Amino acid sequence: MKSNLSLLKITFIITICLSFSSIKIFAQAIQQQDSKETSQKFAAALFYIENFYVDSTNSSELVENAIVNTLKELDPHSAYISKKDLNAANEPLEGSFEGIGVTFQLFNDTILVIAPVPGGPSEKLGILAGDKIIKINGDDAFGSKVNNNYVMERLRGKKGTMVKVSISRNNRKELIDYEIVRDKIPINSIDATFMIDDNIGYIKLNRFSKTSMEEFHASISTLKSRGMKNLILDLRGNSGGFLNTAVELSDEFLEEGKLIVYTEGLKSPRQNYEATHTGDFEKGNLIVLINEGSASASEIVSGAIQDWDRGIVLGRRSFGKGLVQRPFQLPDGSVIRLTSARYYTPTGRSIQKPYEDGVESYYLDLYKRQKHGEFVHADSIHFPDSLKYLTPAKRIVYGGGGIMPDVFVPFDSTQYTDYYSDLIRKGVFNKFTVEFANKNRELFTKKYPTFEKFNTDFNIDNTTMDQFIELGKKEGVEFKEEQYKLSDTFMRYQIKALIARNIWDVSKYFEVLTDVDDTLQRALDLIKKKNMYSELIKTH
């Protein structure tokens, strides 16, 4: 009897398992059938449009529009990239392009060389900052026809190909002809590396590209050789990039075995990313700067630093992108970047902000935050208790819409007046500083043989400011005295910083602005006041 009951029990279990298996197979068959019918439905609709529509149609365009609008229905970050746009979309992340290797600016309808890229083909041939490209392959390259696309199409090209340019130089009467063989040109993801004082280093990273870690190691090595003991990592305005680069950068700060981030989706099993035994800056005080423009990979790094109590995150609440995209190539060479998973910080936080109300509402979120007063007042930000998480040091951190910094620094709206904004919008700062640097380049390099001497000794005087204001008026910017007074100091620093960028490099721009960067000054204050830093971290 006992044997029969056991047999009956086993038979029942097998029957149940077979039933579940049958249901699963049946469900999969239905899903496959639905998918097949949907594909056939779309193909049939396209066939009828092509063969019976009253006017001519472009099938390729119709399909692209259908793909674009379908992806919009999924989430704000799934996207379609056409074959012709793919290279331009990938360049910032690949970390290079192919061309002659100059940073340029259009000045009075003329191509002005701001600087040759170090080690690039133009620098090797002796092309200098301040040179004007007047002809390209024998054709005039100035006037109203010249825009950014015009320059890109003619100066960029495959490695090994040649382009002829004729250049006007200030101290030469005749044009100088060059034959430049194009090469691979790096796009740096680190904007600035410098020592703020004897032991505090600063690195500004603008994106997470394939070359970012190579650049980071070089920057850290340089700073350590100059005595760096503490680091400020600036991720403000960094909209992200490669997930693996974010993991590698986080690994530089965290001890072996610590979880950096994990990803998971309905059709993507959980994948953990952990710190390895190597790290260039696992000791020493660390502050990460973020703001509302810091997204994705920036949030992975700042989230990992915050969750492990490794450093202080300082600034304003980050963007809130916690979705991972995976590229899929379509038959014609175009690509869809499809959201395949969500990522979670070490404490289990998802920092993806809601997107149920549509793409437009999603991207208006920053405007709503500003209008609500969040950029100025930290207490205007409220998180429900359900989004509270605890770090190992028992600090409270929050999920559900960006990384909330440990120390909030408000946006100083007083210096960003309408007058200042109008000058920026009309390009007055760039026009003025490019011309100023170009006219005074030789004088500057003699009087200020080093940037350090320039930064210490040179200031924007009232005569220079009067010239700047006059240019603004010529460009249609009405002078507003009261607003000018509020923005005066900040504008002088901006002009000085842009001159430094045009004569030296972009890193010097940020170095000049150190004194008027409120967020950076707050970070410096925290590092120098060790008790305050330790209290915020609450290390064991």
Residue 129 maps to which CATH number?
Answer: 2.30.42.10
Q: What is the pTM of this model?
A: 0.86
Each residue of 252-262: pLDDT tens digit? 999 999 999 99
Has residue 60 been placed in a domain? no
Separation of first and last alpha carbons in the chain: 65
Q: How far apart are CA 410 and CA 316, in angstroms?
A: 7
- Radius of gyration of the chain from Cα atoms? 28
Q: Is the pLDDT of residue 27 over 60?
A: no
Report the pLDDT averaged over residues 63-70. Answer: 90
Share of the chain above pLDDT 70, in %: 93
Q: How many residues does the chain have?
A: 540
Q: Is the pLDDT of residue 9 over 80?
A: no
Q: How far apart are CA 290 and CA 321, in angstroms?
A: 14
Has residue 497 been placed in a domain? yes
Q: Which of 164, 186, 208 is the last residue of a domain?
A: 186
Q: Is the pLDDT of residue 168 over 50?
A: yes
* Cβ proximity of 338 and 325 under 8 Å: yes
The lowest-confidence range among 71-80, 234-243, 374-383, 510-519 is 374-383
Q: Is the pLDDT of residue 28 over 80?
A: no
**Which residues, 6 or more positions from 280, have their beta carbon under 8 angstroms from its beta carbon?**
216, 217, 220, 252
At residue 31 the predicted structure's pLDDT band, cuts being 50, 70 and 90, is low
Q: Domain containing 147: what range?
A: 96-186
Higher pLDDT, 348 or 401: 348
* Cβ proximity of 276 and 370 under 8 Å: no
Has residue 89 been placed in a domain? no
Active-site residue identified among 307, 365, 505, 517: 307
Has residue 197 been placed in a domain? yes
**Do residues 324 and 247 both lie within one domain?**
yes
Q: Is 307 a catalytic residue?
A: yes
At residue 15 the predicted structure's pLDDT band, cuts being 50, 70 and 90, is very low
Report the pLDDT averaged over residues 7-27. Answer: 44
Active-site residue identified among 132, 204, 258, 321: 321
Q: Is the pLDDT of residue 114 over 90?
A: no
Active-site residue identified among 78, 189, 209, 296: 296
Report the pLDDT averaged over residues 203-218. Answer: 96
Higher pLDDT, 40 or 510: 510
What pLDDT is stored for residue 32 in this prediction?
58
The lowest-confidence range among 117-126, 333-342, 517-526 is 117-126
Q: Is the pLDDT of residue 89 over 90?
A: no
What pLDDT is stored for residue 359 in this prediction?
82
What pLDDT is stored for residue 238 in this prediction?
95
Q: Is the pLDDT of residue 14 over 80?
A: no
**Do residues 474 and 382 both lie within one domain?**
no
At residue 265 the predicted structure's pLDDT band, cuts being 50, 70 and 90, is very high
At residue 292 the predicted structure's pLDDT band, cuts being 50, 70 and 90, is very high
Q: Is 296 a catalytic residue?
A: yes
Q: Is 488 a catalytic residue?
A: no
Element (H, E) at 244: helix 243-251
Share of the chain above pLDDT 90, in %: 62
Higher pLDDT, 425 or 464: 464
**Do residues 194 and 149 both lie within one domain?**
no
Q: Is the pLDDT of residue 225 over 90?
A: yes
* Cβ proximity of 216 and 201 under 8 Å: no
Q: CB 396: neighbour CB atoms within 10 A?
A: 11
**Do residues 201 and 173 both lie within one domain?**
no
Arithmetic mean of pLDDT over the chain? 89
Has residue 3 been placed in a domain? no
142: β partners: 110
Count of the separate structural domains present in the chain: 3
Q: Which of 411, 427, 444 is the last residue of a domain?
A: 411
Q: How far apart are CA 368 and CA 74, in angstroms?
A: 23
Q: Which of 166, 186, 206 is the last residue of a domain?
A: 186
Strand (E) positions, 316-412?
323-329, 335-344, 388-390, 396-398, 407-408
Residue found under tokens 């300082």: 314
Each residue of 302-320: pLDDT tens digit? 999 999 999 999 999 999 9
Q: Is the pLDDT of residue 485 over 70?
A: yes
Q: Is the pLDDT of residue 250 over 60?
A: yes
Is 474 strand, coil or helix? helix
Q: Is the pLDDT of residue 419 over 50?
A: yes
